Structure 1
Amino acid sequence: MNQELRVAAYAVCVRDEQVLLARWVAPDGAKRWTLPGGGMDHGEDPYDTVVREAEEETGYTVEPVRLLGVDSVRRRYPRRLGKFADFQGLRIVYEGRVTGGELRHERNGSTDLAAWHPLKGVAALDRVELVDAGIELWRTKPAVGRVGVRGGG
């Protein structure tokens, strides 16, 4: 089984009780909303990753204003020739503030739409679990950067 690690950085941008999301297009064509962001290039700082990815996916200049935490997922995926991958995703989540640019959709990328959504309506969206994790990190701002973990004294 191949081990695969993907490190990515994402932004939770909230204004006027709305959150900025990008619609991800999966390899099988399924479309689900996600946080703006994506994979780090080798040697790239996560801060620079989230700025670059948010602009690519939404058209906005996003300033990371606070590190909210790290969300980690692990999955088993089928690969070619009957093999499987043991995948781990480390998602570095920042609180972001839009400082410029104009809303637009990504072309020829992993997302096809960008939009503001009311926070109260997020639960009704077809979305990836990262959206819920990011919003929970944004709401609770846990001291240890992980939801559901208490900081020691």
Structure 2
Amino acid sequence: MRKRLRVAAYAVCVRDGQVLLARWLNDGRPRWTLPGGGMEHGEDPYDTVLREVAEETGYRVEVTGLLGVRSVRFPSRRRFRRPVDQHHVGLMYETRVTGGDLRFEVGGSTDMAAWHDLDAVPALTRVPMVDFGLRLWRERPVAGRPEE
């Protein structure tokens, strides 16, 4: 089976009881996600999160801490329906907005960004990473991942 590793960096940006999310477009099923995305070759994950937040939301942010890491493996089918063992590693950074204006990404993997009340997040159509990132933000586990 072919193996594929993807390393990415994501922002957990909470202010005034709201979290900043981007709407990810995947196979015609939009879902809310944390702003962020895959590292480019040779890029530092710290720089990745700054770049991705700017691309997807229009905001400039500063990193205020590393919350933890999300490591997920799952099988999938890729080109020509060949099985692939996917391994996604996402670094979760706490961030705060320092400038810029909220705007939507054009021609990318997301089509809009918005602030959502923390209490309203459970009702959103979202990817599991949103809950994982918010759990890290709330619990601040020393190991960088929530206890099972």
Does structure 1 residue 15 correspond to structure 2 residue 11? Answer: no
Q: What amino acid is aligned across from residue 61 of structure 1 in structure 2?
A: R
Out of 36-45 and 72-81, give the one that drifted further.
72-81
Alignment correspondent of 1:72: 71
Q: Please name the residue that 2:39 is paired with.
A: 40
Tell me the equivalent position of 1:126: 125
| Equivalent residues, number | 148
How far apart, in 2, do the equivalents of 1:91 and 1:81 lie?
27
Structure 2 stretches lacking a partner, 5+ long: none
Report 1:24-103 matches (<5 A): 24-26=24-26, 28-103=27-102
Quote the Cα distance in structure 1 between the aligned partners of 2:11 and 2:106: 20
Secondary structure of 2:142's match?
Answer: coil
Which amino acid in the other structure matches residue 8 of structure 1?
A
Q: How far 1:22 moved relative to its partner?
A: 0.1
The amino acid that maps onto 1:138 is W
Q: Give 2:103's aligned amino acid.
A: R
RMSD of Structure 2 on Structure 1 (CA): 0.8
Normalised TM-score (structure 1): 0.95
Shift of 1:62: 1.0
Structure 1 unaligned segments of length 5 or more: list them: none
* Distance (whole Å) between structure 1 residues aligned to residue 73 and residue 39 of structure 2: 18
C-alpha distance in 1, partners of 2:86/2:64?
A: 29
Write the deviation string for residues 20-59 of structure 1: whole angstroms up to 9, x where unpaired.
Answer: 0000001x11100000000000111110000000000000
CA distance in 2, matches of 1:93, 1:82: 31
Secondary structure, aligned partner of 2:136: helix
Report how far residue 80 of structure 1 moved: 2.7
The one-letter amino acid of 1:4's match is R
CA–CA separation in structure 2 for the residues paired with 1:115 and 1:67: 23
Q: How does 1:127-146 map to 2 (within 5 A)?
A: 127-146=126-145
Q: Which amino acid aligns with 1:132?
A: D
- The one-letter amino acid of 2:113's match is A
